[in-house]
């Protein structure tokens, strides 16, 4: 039997606001433990939460960018459970009246546009961080545990999709597109390794073509795109095998082990919670009137789709180039910055997509770490277009720029790579080459025009590739026919 | 002032005048209260902690400097309920859980009064985490009623009310979730005001039931309650449920009650109210009528459901509010080698909390449990809405509502501890006011068998000025001038 996977994602995004969700402590990653905490985020007796307005604005941006509707009123709930990283003994979250609902995000999965529904987007707070000493950092067998409250109360947005995703690849594409969108919105670092973007998945399988949903499992805390895709594939495989063998999928939480590539169920006791949600009496409802929503809408950063259209209209870029360039906020920002230093958008986009992305792909590097800054790339392209260096030399220079971080000008100067366009100098070299190859001269004069390429090559060889090809062509033609 | 005037009989308003005119020093006033504490508090046990030295130093400092600074409450000796956190002064909520807890900040309400110049004498006893009506639920022993040491002072602010009634504080700060200011004030023959929900910041008030809790004054006179309230109210950026009071609080002066329409709440004067209490209450209302008030009958049809609804909602909130006491960051942690974190939680919370606190945590946890939420919490919220509407309707016909504050006078220690339900009924007249978030005040109405009876006045939201004005008039009409034997003793 053919099975179809059904996947829904739950994504947690730590917002990059200046202060925490319910107190004035700074938001940052890491740092000396317990240096960014106060009576509120350590839940001292009598302390009360105050909602961070900026976080609500960021939340609204996310809701709008995901095409959600924003009800005029939403409220916070308390989600009750005991754990040492949860100082109040409850998490302030949202329950049946979330901030934004019923949105969608389109992805291109296998050349096909798929609409992934967004069920809800809501606001909550992050927990503190437990650090278990000994036993490889795990709680089981740990000697003791420490708690760092620096993260406690960091604004956290939860995005829940509908079960509209049908392959691990599509899940990865969705998460990637969402991450890119969040970057454009300027609301989070989206750093999966540091945990500012986290993803859980609800997975089930069903006979292909069936309209029913199968029993789902929850796959926890994937910390990279790769792990998300792998973990999902593994869990789908497990469920299909189970069903094909006549077994049943049990609703439970499963854990994907990156090291072994296996999925293992967690003990049911660990997630059998009754959270006893009830409205948070310490916080007044979040009133998102139409005025507020319109203000946020008016202040929204330019999103990838709008940016791509602008590239097509304003710079005359092909649609494909526009889409590639806007597929990441960093690349798009890089492009626009470089454009200040080199104004041929089309040539620039070709270079970015060919050379720069090629280099990053080959080395597995990140654009943010690339030693070639937009200004320097603009400088290089300017040298090529003005004829100072040839395109071929340009590629070499670029490779060196990537390695050393030096400017194109410096490299060209120190290595003497400037293009030779001086007619007299090239005529002299051409003369020597012609004199040394009488047989080829004979062939040319007999009408074999292709031999010209041989002479060009020889001149290039003599000049270490620095000769201006147009000038060389002209000079050779003159000498050979003259 | 007369040199032999008993300083323990002074009202705060009068003490302030005497200090202002130079006839009395803050040091002498504070000294008088500290010495009364020293003489009597081993019997009364109003205080969990007295900070004599700090208090005397602060009073001295006022005499030297503050009179010129114009600190409006300069040098007034004040008792603070141990439910309000005070930086550097151990704050226990009368619980083993916080026996040695030294707060790292001060509650906004206390800070505001300190900025206005009060001298904190110490922290007063209470029912553990403000849960109770007799102060017998304190982990550190009960407080006794200064009128009769065999009897309870009421609760949960029993320590604060007893301190004022015993002449161990000029006035006191309490907190009221279901009657915890008004009921002990009634049982101790003093004035207790619960302001409109949101008037006074809850920041630093250790939460019992967040949507009910309010901080307020316990004083000798209505004018004193107005004076303290004036400096307590205000929007606090650290408490988003606080609001700016729409009116500046004024000290009431007018004594006649002409033109005031008072409604006696039918549902709160019937069954379950002691005959002695009713007779004092009726007499007091008669005096108000004689002073010009138009008295009629009013009705809160759903008042009978208020108590059960309260005992769903308040414990539900409490079950979450008290979850932070887990032995992880501060307070008690059960000793021993624990098998796992759950065991540590279990032991800490069973050792740290008393029976009543555990009872309410369990009630609340149950009411919020999956499958029971709608039947309990959901229904109780609906009752709350109905009670709010009852009050709205009642206030279309009258300015203020009136009832006895408590169904009985002070009962004997141990009399009700074996029967939680009977104890809960002590707050039957005060709880509806908290459900609706309204301001309510208890003033002494007289004595029944030598024990004080309180009269409760209830006003619409943010009507504190009118409420205090009328209470002041009623106070004058009633003319209650008895004090506890402990203050009488100090008259030479």
Other beta carbons within 10 angstroms of residue A53's beta carbon come to 10
Q: Which of A372-386, A388-402, B128-142, B206-220 has the lowest mean pLDDT?
A: A388-402
Residue A159 · residue A215 · CB < 8 Å: no
Question: Is the pLDDT at A425 greater than 90, yes or no?
Answer: no
Q: pLDDT of A185-202, one tens digit each? A: 999 999 998 999 999 999
Nearest neighbour of A284 by CB, restricted to B84, B240, B316: B240
Q: What is the mean pLDDT of residues B426-444?
A: 98
Minimal Cα distance from B208: which residue of A? A46
> Which one, of A121, A91, A79, A102, lies nearest residue A22 by Cα?
A91
Residue B155 · residue B161 · CB < 8 Å: no
Q: pLDDT of A306-365, one tens digit each? A: 999 999 999 999 999 998 999 888 999 999 999 999 999 999 999 999 999 999 989 888
Q: What is the pLDDT of residue B323?
A: 98
Q: How far apart are CA B133 and CA A107, in angstroms?
A: 62
- Model confidence at A203, pLDDT cuts 50, 70, 90, reads very high
- Model confidence at A221, pLDDT cuts 50, 70, 90, reads confident
ipTM of the complex as predicted: 0.96
- Model confidence at B252, pLDDT cuts 50, 70, 90, reads very high
Nearest neighbour of A276 by CB, restricted to B328, B345, B369: B369
Q: Euclidean distance between the first and final Cα of chain A, in Å?
A: 79
Contacts of A305 (CB under 8 A, 6+ apart): A326
Query: Where are chain B's structural domains?
Result: 7-300+390-488
Tell me the catalytic residues of B.
81, 156, 180
Q: Which percentage of chain A shows pLDDT scores above 70? A: 98
- Model confidence at B329, pLDDT cuts 50, 70, 90, reads very high
Q: In whole angstroms, how large is the CA radius of gyration of chain B?
A: 21
The answer to whether the Cβ–Cβ distance between B237 and A78 falls below 8 Å is: no
Residue by residue, DSSP assigns B170-211 as SEEEEEESSSTTHHHHHHHTSEEEEPPTTSB--TTB--SSTT
Return the bridge partners of B216, or none.
B174
Chain B residues 359-398 with CB within 8 Å of chain A = 365, 368-370, 373, 377
Q: How far apart are CA A88 and CA B325, in angstroms?
A: 8
Q: Which of A173-182, A278-287, B4-13 has the lowest mean pLDDT?
A: B4-13
Q: pLDDT of B23-38, one tens digit each? A: 999 999 999 999 999 9
Q: Are strands A253-257 and A217-222 parallel, antiparallel or unpaired?
A: parallel
The answer to whether the Cβ–Cβ distance between A84 and B328 falls below 8 Å is: yes
Residue B11 · residue B220 · CB < 8 Å: yes
The answer to whether the Cβ–Cβ distance between B101 and A42 falls below 8 Å is: no
Q: Which CATH superfamily is domain B7-300+390-488 in?
A: Amidase signature (AS) domain (3.90.1300.10)
Our CA dihedral for A384, A387, A388, A391, rounded to 10 degrees, sits at 40
B169 versus A410: the higher-pLDDT residue is: B169
Token pair in block for residue A5? 């996977």
Nearest neighbour of A276 by CB, restricted to B98, B328, B365: B365
Q: pLDDT of B73-108, one tens digit each? A: 989 999 999 999 999 999 999 999 999 999 999 999
The answer to whether the Cβ–Cβ distance between B240 and A283 falls below 8 Å is: yes
Q: pLDDT of A258-279, one tens digit each? A: 788 888 887 654 456 799 999 9
pTM (predicted TM-score): 0.90
Residue B467 · residue B192 · CB < 8 Å: no
Contacts of B371 (CB under 8 A, 6+ apart): none
Question: Is the pLDDT at A110 greater than 90, yes or no?
Answer: no
Query: Where are chain A's structural domains?
Result: 3-293, 317-414, 423-481
Minimal Cα distance from A277: which residue of B? B368
Report how far Cα B208 is from the mean position of its chain's Cα atoms: 14
Chain B CB contacts of A20 under 8 Å are none
Question: How many angstroms separate the Cα of A425 from the Cα of each of A418, A432, A433, A434, A465?
Answer: 14, 11, 13, 14, 14
Structurally, what CATH architecture does the domain formed by A423-481 represent?
A: Orthogonal Bundle (1.10)
Q: Which of A8-17, A128-137, B167-176, B346-355 has the lowest mean pLDDT?
A: A128-137
Q: What is the mean pLDDT of residues B35-45?
A: 97
Question: How many angstroms separate the Cα of A196 from the Cα of each of A23, A30, A421, B149?
Answer: 19, 12, 54, 61
- Interface test mutation site (partner B, options A22, A33, A48, A149, max chain B beta carbons within 10 A): A48
Residue by residue, DSSP assigns A8-22 as EEEEEEE---SB-SS
Q: What's the mean per-residue pLDDT of chain B?
A: 96
Q: pLDDT of A390-418, one tens digit each? A: 888 888 899 899 999 898 888 888 887 78
B238 touches chain A (CB under 8 A): yes
Q: What is the pLDDT of residue A272?
A: 60
Q: How far apart are CA B180 and CA B93, in angstroms?
A: 14
Q: How far apart are CA B22 and CA B274, in angstroms?
A: 47
Q: What is the pLDDT of residue A351?
A: 92
Angle between helices B26-44 and B52-61 (to 10 degrees): 160
B482 exposed, middle or buried (CB, 10 Å; 0-12, 13-18, 19+)?
middle
Hunting for tokens 């946020």 — which residue is that? A296
Nearest neighbour of B205 by CB, restricted to A46, A89, A276: A46
Q: How far apart are CA B424 and CA B383, in angstroms?
A: 18
Q: What is the mean pLDDT of residues A212-219?
A: 92
Token pair in block for residue A160? 């829940």
Q: What is the pLDDT of residue A390?
A: 81
- Model confidence at B66, pLDDT cuts 50, 70, 90, reads low
Question: Is the pLDDT at B65 greater than 80, yes or no?
Answer: no
Other beta carbons within 10 angstroms of residue A446's beta carbon come to 8
Q: What is the pLDDT of residue B69?
A: 65
Specify the DSSP class assigned to residue B460: S
Question: Is the pLDDT at A482 greater than 80, yes or no?
Answer: no
Q: pLDDT of B436-467, one tens digit each? A: 999 999 999 999 999 999 999 999 999 999 99
Chain B CB contacts of A50 under 8 Å are 237-240
- Model confidence at B339, pLDDT cuts 50, 70, 90, reads confident
B480 touches chain A (CB under 8 A): no
Q: What is the mean pLDDT of residues A230-235?
A: 94
Question: How many angstroms separate the Cα of B363 from the Cα of each of A16, A272, A312, B345, B488?
Answer: 40, 21, 65, 19, 44
């Amino acid at each position: 039997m053919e099975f179809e996977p059904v996947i829904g994602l739950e994504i947690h995004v730590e917002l990059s606001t200046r202060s925490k969700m319910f107190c004035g402590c700074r938001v940052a990653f890491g740092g000396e433990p317990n240096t960014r905490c106060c009576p509120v985020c350590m839940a001292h007796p009598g302390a009360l939460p105050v909602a961070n307005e900026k976080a609500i604005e960021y939340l609204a941006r996310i809701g709008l960018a995901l095409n959600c509707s924003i009800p005029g009123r939403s409220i916070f709930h308390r989600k009750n459970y005991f754990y040492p990283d949860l100082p109040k003994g409850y998490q302030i979250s949202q329950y049946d009246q979330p901030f934004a609902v019923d949105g969608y995000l389109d992805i291109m999965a296998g050349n096909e546009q798929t609409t992934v529904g967004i069920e809800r987007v809501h606001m909550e707070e992050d927990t503190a961080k437990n650090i278990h000493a000994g036993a490889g950092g795990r709680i089981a067998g740990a000697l003791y545990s420490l708690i760092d409250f620096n993260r406690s109360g960091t604004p956290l947005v939860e995005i829940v999709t509908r079960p509209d995703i049908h392959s691990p690849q599509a899940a990865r594409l969705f998460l990637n597109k969402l991450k890119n969108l969040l970057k454009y919105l300027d609301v989070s670092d989206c750093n999966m390794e540091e945990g500012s973007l986290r993803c859980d998945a609800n997975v089930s399988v069903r006979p292909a073509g069936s309209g029913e949903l199968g029993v789902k499992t929850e796959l926890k805390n994937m910390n990279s795109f790769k792990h998300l895709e792998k973990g999902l594939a593994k869990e789908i495989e497990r469920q299909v095998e189970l069903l094909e063998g006549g077994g049943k999928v049990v609703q439970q939480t499963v854990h994907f082990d990156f090291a072994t590539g296996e999925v293992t169920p967690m003990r049911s006791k660990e997630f059998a919670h009754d959270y006893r949600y009830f409205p948070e009496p310490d916080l007044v409802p979040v009133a998102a009137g139409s005025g507020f929503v319109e203000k946020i809408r008016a202040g929204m950063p330019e999103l990838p789709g709008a940016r791509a259209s602008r590239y097509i209209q304003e710079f005359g870029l092909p649609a494909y180039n526009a889409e590639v360039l806007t597929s990441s906020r960093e690349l798009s920002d890089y492009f626009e910055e470089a454009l200040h230093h080199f104004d041929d958008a089309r040539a620039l986009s070709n270079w970015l997509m060919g050379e720069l992305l090629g280099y990053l792909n080959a080395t597995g590097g990140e654009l943010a770490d690339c030693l070639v800054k937009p200004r320097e790339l603009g400088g290089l392209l300017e040298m090529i277009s003005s004829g100072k260096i040839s395109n071929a030399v340009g590629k070499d220079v670029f490779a060196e720029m990537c390695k050393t971080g030096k400017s194109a000008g410096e490299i060209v100067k120190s290595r003497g790579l400037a293009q030779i366009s001086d007619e007299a100098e090239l005529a002299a070299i051409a003369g020597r080459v012609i004199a040394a190859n009488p047989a080829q001269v004979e062939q040319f004069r007999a009408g074999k025009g292709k031999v010209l390429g041989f002479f060009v090559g020889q001149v290039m060889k003599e000049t270490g590739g620095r000769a201006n090809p147009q000038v060389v062509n002209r000079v050779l033609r003159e000498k050979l026919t003259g | 002032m007369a040199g032999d005037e008993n300083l323990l009989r002074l009202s705060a308003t009068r003490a302030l005048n005497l200090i202002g005119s130079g006839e009395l020093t803050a040091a002498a006033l504070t000294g008088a209260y500290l010495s009364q504490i020293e003489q009597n508090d081993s019997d009364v046990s109003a205080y969990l902690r007295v900070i004599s030295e700090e208090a005397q130093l602060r009073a001295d400092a006022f005499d030297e400097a503050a009179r010129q600074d114009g600190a409006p409450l300069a040098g007034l000796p004040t008792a603070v309920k141990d439910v309000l956190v005070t930086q550097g002064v151990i704050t226990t909520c009368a619980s083993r859980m916080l026996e040695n807890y030294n707060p790292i900040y001060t509650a906004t309400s206390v800070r505001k009064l300190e900025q206005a110049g009060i001298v904190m004498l110490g922290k007063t006893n209470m029912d553990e985490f403000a849960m109770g009506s007799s102060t017998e639920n304190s982990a550190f022993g009960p407080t006794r009623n200064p009128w009769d040491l065999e009897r309870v002072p009421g609760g949960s602010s029993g320590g604060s009310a007893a301190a004022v009634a015993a002449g161990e504080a000029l006035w006191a700060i309490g907190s009221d979730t279901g009657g915890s200011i008004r009921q002990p004030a009634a049982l101790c023959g003093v004035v207790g005001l619960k302001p409109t929900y949101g008037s006074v910041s809850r920041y630093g008030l250790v939460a019992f039931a967040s949507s009910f809790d309010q901080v307020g004054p316990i004083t000798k006179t209505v004018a004193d309650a107005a004076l303290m309230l004036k400096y307590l109210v205000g929007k606090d950026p650290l408490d988003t449920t606080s609001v700016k009071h729409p009116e500046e609080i004024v000290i009431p002066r007018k004594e006649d009650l002409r033109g005031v329409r008072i409604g006696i709440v039918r549902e709160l004067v019937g069954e379950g109210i002691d005959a002695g209490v009713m007779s004092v209450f009726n007499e007091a209302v008669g005096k108000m009528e004689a002073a010009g008030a138009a008295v009629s009958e009013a009705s809160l049809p759903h008042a009978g459901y208020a108590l059960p609804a309260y005992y769903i909602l308040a414990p539900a909130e409490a079950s979450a509010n008290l979850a932070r006491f887990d032995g992880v960051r501060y307070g008690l942690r059960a000793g021993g080698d624990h098998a796992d974190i759950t065991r540590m939680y279990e032991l800490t919370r069973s050792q740290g909390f008393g029976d009543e606190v555990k009872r309410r945590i369990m009630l609340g946890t149950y009411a919020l449990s999956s499958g029971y939420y709608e039947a309990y919490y959901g229904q109780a919220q609906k009752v709350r809405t109905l009670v709010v509407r009852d009050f709205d309707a009642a206030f279309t016909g009258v300015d203020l509502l009136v009832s006895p504050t408590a169904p009985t006078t002070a009962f004997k220690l141990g009399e009700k501890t074996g029967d939680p339900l009977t104890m809960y009924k002590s707050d039957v007249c005060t709880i509806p006011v908290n459900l609706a978030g309204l301001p309510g005040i208890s003033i002494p109405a007289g004595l029944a068998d030598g024990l004080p009876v309180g009269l409760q006045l209830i006003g619409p939201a943010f009507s504190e000025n009118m409420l205090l004005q009328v209470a002041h008039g009623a106070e004058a009409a009633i003319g209650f001038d008895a004090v506890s034997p402990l203050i009488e003793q100090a008259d030479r």
